[in-house]
Amino acid sequence: MLTAVLTVVGLIILTIVIVWIIDRFVPKKAKPVLNILLWILIIFLGYLTFDSVYGEIKFNQLKKKRYVTVIESLKDIRDAQLAHRTVTGEFSDDFDALIKFIDTASFTITQRKDSTILDKEMTKRFGGVETFKDIVIIDTLGFVPVKDSLFGADTRYKTMMNVPIGKSGAKFKLEAGKLPEDNIPVFEASVDKDIILHDQDKHLVNKEKQVVAVDGVNGPTLKVGSMTEVYTKGNWPKSYNSKKED
């Protein structure tokens, strides 16, 4: 945007200089017509400058509003995936299976207690001198449905695969697997910025996809998780959270 603005401002200055030259050196009979044409050009260039600046401001406002909406859906996907890993030990790469899991699975509520018992082996080894060892006792207290824990009475999880704004009918890309070097489960849910901003100026969208900034959504996609590292957060800054991040 800065380059375009500087170019237009430079043209305006050049036009003003031309007007001055005409005023000084062009015959009086030709001045009125030339002056009118040049001032029309100045006004037009001024409009282009304003439109380029204001257009990007509007784009940034709309972009953030749409990102916030999409981020809420990505948070739901992340919460569902973390619950899936807690219960099954891995993430899911299928939305239908993830929804079925939420409908049917339960968290196990346990209680951990420290205790001490007689260590028979050590007692025998020490000739009958009683020796004790510490143990941990885990009691199962009950079960809580995953659905109730994460979403309560809300059924929005049934459509969490759908990108909520932007290109109609678009769905999030969902991947899951394990890191090859240490076999740790990972997942990633993402959507291309082209889909979220499909009806916006293509130049501004392409520029947005190349963003690298502390306060921006870096890269060509909006996503949560990662397939290359143990990471379950999103690639957006805190300023894009409409709710407090856990």
Condensed to tens digits (0 to 9), the pLDDT of residues 107-140 reads 766 567 777 777 777 777 777 777 777 777 666 6
The predicted structure's pLDDT at residue 246: 43
The predicted structure's pLDDT at residue 146: 92
11 and 81 part of one domain: no
Q: Which amino acid is at 73?
A: S
DSSP 13: H
131 and 230 part of one domain: no
36 and 81 part of one domain: no
CA gap 93, 83 in Å, rounded: 14
| Residue 245 domain-assigned (yes or no) | no
Q: Among 118, 145, 172, where does a domain finish?
A: 145
Q: Compute the C-alpha angle 184/188/189, nearest 5°.
A: 155
Average pLDDT score, the chain: 83
100 and 199 part of one domain: yes
Structure token pair of residue 118: 């007689």
| Dihedral (CA of 61, 67, 72, 78) sign | negative
pLDDT range class, residue 198, cuts 50, 70, 90: very high
Q: What is the number of structural domains in the chain?
A: 3
76 and 192 part of one domain: yes
Beta strand segments in 43-194, E? 106-118, 132-145, 173-178, 185-192
92 and 121 part of one domain: no
The whole model's pTM is what? 0.71
232 and 180 part of one domain: yes
159 and 114 part of one domain: no
* 32 vs 105: which has the higher pLDDT: 105
Residue 164 belongs to domain spanning: 64-104+151-240
Condensed to tens digits (0 to 9), the pLDDT of residues 15-60 reads 677 666 666 666 666 667 766 776 777 677 666 666 666 678 889 9
Contact in structure between 61 and 200 (CB atoms under 8 Å): no
170 and 127 part of one domain: no
183 and 91 part of one domain: yes
Contact in structure between 233 and 63 (CB atoms under 8 Å): no
Strands 221-226 and 173-178: unpaired
187 and 111 part of one domain: no
91 and 10 part of one domain: no
